[in-house]
Amino acid sequence: MSVLDATLGADEVINRIRLLQSNGGAVGKKQVKQSDPELMRNALFYFPSWDHALKNAEIL
């Protein structure tokens, strides 16, 4: 994946994870991959794993 493939900034990824969590949405990897593939793709661009993205969003 190149920089051109990232459609969200790292801070926007974190904000969207937090928003999803605060709205009662599922933040599990499989659920997010299905419900918001753009968020998942961008999270994995900036962070080594989905768990790392959740930790940065202070959810784990």
Q: What is the pLDDT along the chain (60 residues), one digit of tens a residue?
A: 555 678 999 999 999 999 999 999 999 999 999 999 999 999 999 999 999 999 999 986
Please report, as a single letter, which amino acid is at residue 8.
Answer: L
Q: Where in the chain are the domains? A: 3-56
